[in-house]
A and B are shown apart, each in its own frame.
Chain A
Amino acid sequence: MKKFLFLFLCMLAIPLFAAKVDLNKATMAELKTLPITEQQAKDIYDYRQNIAYFEDIYDLRKISSIDQMTMEKIRSLITVSHYIETDDSVLRRQQIGYLLQRMDANEGSQEGMSDVWEDFLMTPQNANGMFFNDYLSLPNVSPVDAYAVMKRRAQGDTLADQRDLKNSPGLSYYGYSNMKNYVYYKEPPIKDRLFVDYQLKYQSIPYEDDPQAMYKLPLIPQTYGIVASGTVLPDSVMAETNKKENCYWGYFHMDKYEASVLNKLRVRYGSNFKAGALYDSPAGSKDMFDTEQTDLIKDGKFYAGYENTVDLFGLTGLKAYLGNYRVSYGEGLTMDNTDYYTSRNTGYGFTKRILGITPDLSRTQEYSMRGGALELKKTWMEASLFYSRDKKDAVVYLNQTVDSLGVHHYSPVKDADGNYQVFGYITPTRSFDNESLEKAESFFNQELQTPGYIPWAKDYINLAPRHDILTETVTGGHLSLSPFTGTHVGFSTYTSVYDNADFYVPSTIDSLKQMLIRDSYNYKYWKIASSEIKGLYSTKTSKYNRDYRRVIGFDWMSVIKNTSIQGEYSELTVDGKDTKLGDDPKAFVITSYTQFDNLYLLSLFRNYDVGFDNPYSRGFSEHQKFTDTVLEDYGYTLTNPLLSDMVYNSAQAQAERGLYFETRYRFNSYFTLGRTYMDIWERLTDRRKSIRFQGDLDYRPFYQLSLRAKYKKQINRYDETMDRAVSKTDEYTISTAMFLSARDYMSFEYRYNTVWGPPYLSITNPGQAMANNQASGSTQMTGDFIAMNYDHNFNDDLSITGSVLYWNGHGISHWDWEDTEIDFMGLKGMKYWFTIQDQIATNLFMSFKYKYKEYQTQEEFIRNYNLPYGTQDNYFPRVERVENEIRFQLDWKF
């Protein structure tokens, strides 16, 4: 009996010792062993597989088929082991998710740099092994911050952890909080492994005001016939001269809905081996599957490279890249190869340059480097060398020949050496292939030379952009020596050799006018500012004859306590000697930056000569090269309106001299003076003097609420008699932003602006059609703008952001920063947009944006397509336009 009793007790105890079913690990078969229905077992399995791991057994109640009774029944039979994410890359991404999101949001203004910073975020660098420029290249880290850390290390100190970094003497709070995510101290948070990032982006073409106007400029104005014959031509002829195809817009059928598709793949192992490829099919071009293989390579971008810190006579940083890469030195005066212009690019805060060599998968095409680059870094020196050979777009001269049959032919001019004659670099808004451009030009030229008409001063298109016509070989490098921590002196140079082309600019203003402007009547629009065009570089002049362009530069930096002084001097070799300074067109920038915990003061002086035509210069400036020249303001007078792209997509700075001050001061937790600046500068071509001020004050009575007032003023004073003497612009903005809950954020903004100018004489003319119909006749224009923005986070993975705006412009251009891109709005209208951000899975991210915009385009009179000139009863005051825009982006990060 005792034996039986013992056996019975043992049997009773078996369930106590039997393993419980672990909800986070059990197979379907194991779940079925529980005293629940098969459907309930399936639901539990389904929940774990598709929704979430169980935090505890009470999560069972989130499953609708499991009631309290069932849970009570099985609670003694089940257990929940805590799920711990083991994939260190997923963990790291979770940790820095918000920073990655912010990075994506800034992609538009930081073309290509976000990739580099994203890599640094994912695989941080060793805080105790970085070089001065490594710290300096991090977003929002100042030279004073970099110096503070380097100084500690130079004294033999080691950064032990985040708190230790924070306590570094001289390191500002901003510097610390921006640096901390990009560095590690003892062990990297993520081991060396393979990372793959793939991005697909589909985007409908956004409306771009200026280029669109350029494409719509008529090649054959209606008055062409009238001026010629002195009489109004019959209707039938009029209909012919106003064919829609007589502009690039109509000829290339640019009305069609078009989209750009971007495919980008980046692969890297740890932070040592990196490779990537990008193919961007901008709107209007062939898609990737239609493109010839050779063009895929030619117009695509790719790189492969190696980066490491090795022990080579001491700690040495090494970088080697093949393919496309980016180079940036000093203040960007000698070399900084991006296609994109950024105004007021100080190199501080959010307008950073990543110094040295970095891989390049941006959409930059024109100024991209393709070849090989090598960089070596030590604490006391940095050296880099690069070589690139690539084809570039350029504006070339066209020649007109007439064959024996009287047929006209137009082809790029070649000089005695068989080289193309090139006017300058150009980044076309739409990259048409050369064959299509030639056909279009031939068509326009034929129309322009209709027999019986008196021709223009220049009766054919004599200058035109051509795709990949210029073969450029660039060789250059940089050497910098650093005798003390935080101080360096550097030398940089590059030489571009042109194998098949010579740059040529007419030697007199008169010949330039005759070349660029179609009708002698319009020569008056060549104002003094246009003399900037004269400053374009020629490879052949009466003084020298060569096939290259060479730029040399010096940069320096010194950090003294909480102040850094830095600068760059750069010179383009024209007719002086390479070895002699000051005998050639030059550019220089000098900056002083002082930093306190809650305050910084930045002052910058720059001076760029008109003749300093360095296509790779991206120095600080207020305006792009050729702003306010005939290329921008009077596109309709040009022999070829496409030349306006030389301004619209110019990445170079305008020749100017000026002094810039910037500050930010956080008074206390309530009041902050946001980025506030004042710039006083003079444009060197026409001596226009300008002053610009912007300041904003933020009041935050409690964390959830922010009230902000912003004021901007700009005054331009022209000394040119042709222009208004003075113009004054004021902009007043008030905004409020509030967190309605932990998941909801809402903001309102109201902006009011005025532009004042002295009246034109024509204001006294009768206000009737064809006599005085210009809105610009008024002395003051006013515009305003109201916007509401709302963000809602459904959960950590899904969020929606949207905005509704109404604006009224009257010729004043408004701008609005949408989720990742800036949008310009003219006249009046409304728009709304929303973006859905969705983390579909651990490695898969989706973003979708839709925008609806309706607005008036031009407050000008418009004329029916085939009506005679001067028929006034068919004029309408304005037109309305509606746009739909879609952006779809998919990111796979493995």
Chain B
Amino acid sequence: MNKRYIFCLSLLLAAFSLFSYSLTDSVFGNRILSYDARSLAMGNTGITNGARPMYSQLNPAVTASLGSKLAMEFSFGSTQLEETRSLPFFNQFDNYVEDEVYAANTHGYADYAGAITSSLKYGRSTYAVGLDFMPIVDFGGKYREEIRNSSNSDLDTYPNLIARNAITNKGKLNSGGINIAYMIDLDKAKFSLGLKYASLIGTNDQSTTIRWTQWAIDQAINAPNNWNQTTNTADPGHNILPDYTKTVSRDLYGTQMQAGFTAQYLDRVIIGFKYTPKTDITVSNLKYENYQEIFGEGQRNDLPMTAEDSLLIKDYSLPTSLKFGFSYTPRNIFRTVFNAEVEVVEWKQTNKFFDNVVNYSVGLEHGINERFPLRMGFNTETTFQTIIDNHYFYANKIMTPTISAGTGYAMSSKVYFDFGIAYSFRNFEALDLFKDTYYNDKQYNENASNYLLWPNSSHSIVLTNRGWENPDSVKESFVKVLASITYTW
């Protein structure tokens, strides 16, 4: 096999490993803006250029400007998410100094997408049709946290592990669509119009668990005052620590329409517009469980739905998006394409506490030579974090900037390989995912005067719940890698 094929194949394989986002978006998911490596490298821009079949996902109108009778593209991608949660620390003068990381999670996710387009030129007109498939919202997220006391830490050994907390979110909202486009070429100008109909199908499973460790259970069973428990007076030596489980499962389906338009003038300037109206998604097969259960004892205590869940999980919709784009192909020593786009997302439609936001994206491609381009891009996205605090519901804006770069290789006149990498980061505050009072074993032990699990409590953490007066500081960074291969006839 040719060396360049081996090289490209190895990059494809390297890219195929993961995909998902923030835990904070476990309810609304994370919008995936594009699933094409070239677009990703150019700041997720591309509503004006029909450079690749997958651009039909960015704007249905560009399908007609692809310029080949038949074209196929497949993309494979992976995302690595690193999330750290920190607590505030103060110096001896009580100044808030910095945050100390108490939980760090790095997980990877993978996915794929594909598109096929066909066009027919007749006189000045070009007619095109395309099919595409891609995930448009990702609900995935994993979080693992260990609860330890501080005993033994000064003896250079690990403190006791009391419980393991886990959150596992799965699911995606996939879009399978068909689009039609028409382009008319008037020598100096070209105009394209496109429509897209997509069927959206997805699932969303969320699971939150707290599992006491065997060490903690043993402490409880062997505790001298265990037998004092009202429920176990006849049979002392039982486990008294309830594990916690919450699961949410729901199916999502809906249909989405998109309309797009582009106008090109003199090969140099293209303006584009895409309109995606608000899409209501039907939530079905909603299953909700929220309970505590003592391991080995068979006692299950069902709990009501949490206030946040009751507000958020029953309905789902995607807001209206208006995207305006500008593409410029100047005369440059490097063959150059410059894209700038502005998106208005009407988040207000989905929740009255949200604002409409404006996202910016800019992308640049320089052709180092005819086969080897260098791409870079920058985009910002504003999303919302929903907060319920003392029965008050409000939303925080979170801004995520992304810088991206990439390259590609024209393996032949028909086969293109593209590779893109993007780095995003955001800092925000969030409530403790697992409140500290849950690990206060006194409450399970007839309010005993001493802790079972926190032997050196006088010098350790005070088991009170932290509210918004002492929130977690969360830092997330994403490294997304995409590889696409395109074949044209």
Contact = CB atoms under 8 A, between A and B. Distances in A.
B93 interface: yes
B88 A64 contact: no
Given A865-B88, A890-B362, A879 B97 contact: yes
Contact of A257 (B91, B370, B427, B469): B427
Contacts of B426: 257
A860 B370 contact: no
A632 to B, nearest CB: 16
A94 to B, nearest CB: 14
Contacts of B96: 216, 218, 244, 247, 249-250
A256 B428 contact: yes
Interface stretch (B135-143, B243-251, B333-341): B333-341
A245 interface: yes
Contacts of B466: 866
A255 B473 contact: yes
Nearest to A43: B370
A597 interface: no
Nearest to B385: A256
Contacts of A222: 90, 94
A246 B471 CA distance: 13
Interface stretch (A106-114, A531-539, A784-792, A870-878): A870-878
A886 B459 contact: no
Contact of A216 (B95, B268, B338, B459): B95
Contacts of B358: 287, 289
Contact of B401 (A259, A289, A871): A259
Contacts of A213: 95
Contact of A244 (B268, B366, B427, B471): B471
A408 B194 CA distance: 63
Interface in A222-261: 222-223, 235-236, 238-239, 242-247, 249-250, 253, 255-259
B378 A848 contact: yes
Interface in B85-115: 87-100
B88 A250 contact: yes
A222 B358 CA distance: 43
B92 A245 contact: no
B293 interface: no
Nearest to B402: A886
Nearest to A257: B427
Contacts of A7: none
Interface string A497-537: 00000000000000000000000000000000000000000
Contact of B89 (A289, A839, A864): A864
Interface stretch (A14-22, A48-56, A396-404): A48-56
A259 B332 CA distance: 31
Contacts of B462: 235-236, 238-239, 866-867
Nearest to B371: A64
B398 interface: yes
A93 B98 CA distance: 47
Contact of A218 (B95, B99, B329, B378): B95
A857 B95 CA distance: 13
B333 to A, nearest CB: 5
B89 A863 contact: yes
Contacts of A221: 93-94
B154 A873 contact: yes
B92 A773 contact: yes
Nearest to B330: A841
Given A52-B333, A202-B380, A866 B427 contact: no
A218 B94 contact: yes
Contact of B328 (A238, A841, A874): A841
Given A217-B95, A862-B91, A888 B399 contact: no
B89 A879 contact: yes
B381 to A, nearest CB: 12
A204 B462 CA distance: 36
B441 to A, nearest CB: 17
Contact of A50 (B88, B90, B335, B364): B335
Contact of B90 (A202, A242, A850): A242
A793 to B, nearest CB: 12
Interface residues of A, number: 75
A770 interface: yes
Contacts of B312: none
Contacts, number: 189
B428 A865 contact: no
A242 B97 CA distance: 12
A875 B97 CA distance: 12
B461 interface: yes
Given A218-B90, A862-B89, A842 B330 contact: yes
The residue in B96, B268, B328, B398 that gathers the most chain A C-beta atoms within 10 A of its C-beta is B96
Given A202-B380, A222-B94, A879-B97, A50 B331 contact: yes
Given A49-B267, A840-B364, A879-B100, A866 B334 contact: no
B280 interface: no
B332 A841 contact: yes
Contacts of A881: 98
Contacts of B470: 243-245, 250, 865-866
A839 B333 CA distance: 10
A846 interface: yes
A241 to B, nearest CB: 9
A740 interface: no
A789 to B, nearest CB: 22
A236 B463 CA distance: 9
Given A257-B428, A842-B330, A863 B464 contact: no
Interface in A838-864: 838-842, 844, 846, 848, 850, 857-858, 860-864
B427 to A, nearest CB: 4
Contacts of A579: none
A721 interface: no
Nearest to B401: A886
A109 B100 CA distance: 36
A727 interface: no
B421 interface: no
B376 interface: yes
A636 interface: yes
A876 B267 CA distance: 63
A864 B436 CA distance: 15
B399 A257 contact: yes
A560 B387 CA distance: 72
Contact of B376 (A50, A245, A848): A848
B215 interface: no
A884 B477 CA distance: 11
B91 A242 contact: no
A258 B401 CA distance: 10
B283 to A, nearest CB: 31
A138 to B, nearest CB: 33
A841 B338 contact: yes
A836 interface: yes
Contacts of A202: 360, 378, 380, 401
Given A841-B338, A871-B459, A636 B93 contact: yes
Interface in A24-68: 49-53, 64
Contacts of B356: 289
A840 B91 contact: no
Contacts of A720: none
Interface of B: 87-100, 154, 267-268, 328-336, 338, 340, 355-356, 358, 360, 362, 364, 366, 370, 376, 378, 380, 396, 398-401, 403, 425-429, 459, 461-462, 464, 466, 468-471, 473
15 contacts: A50-B332, A64-B370, A242-B90, A245-B468, A246-B469, A255-B428, A255-B429, A257-B401, A257-B425, A257-B426, A796-B333, A841-B330, A863-B92, A873-B154, A886-B401
Given A49-B329, A222-B94, A242-B90, 15 more contacts: A50-B335, A202-B401, A223-B94, A239-B464, A243-B470, A257-B398, A257-B401, A258-B399, A636-B93, A796-B333, A840-B364, A848-B376, A848-B403, A865-B88, A873-B459
State the 4 A-B residue pairs at the shortest beta-carbon distance, nearest first.
A841-B330, A243-B469, A879-B98, A218-B94
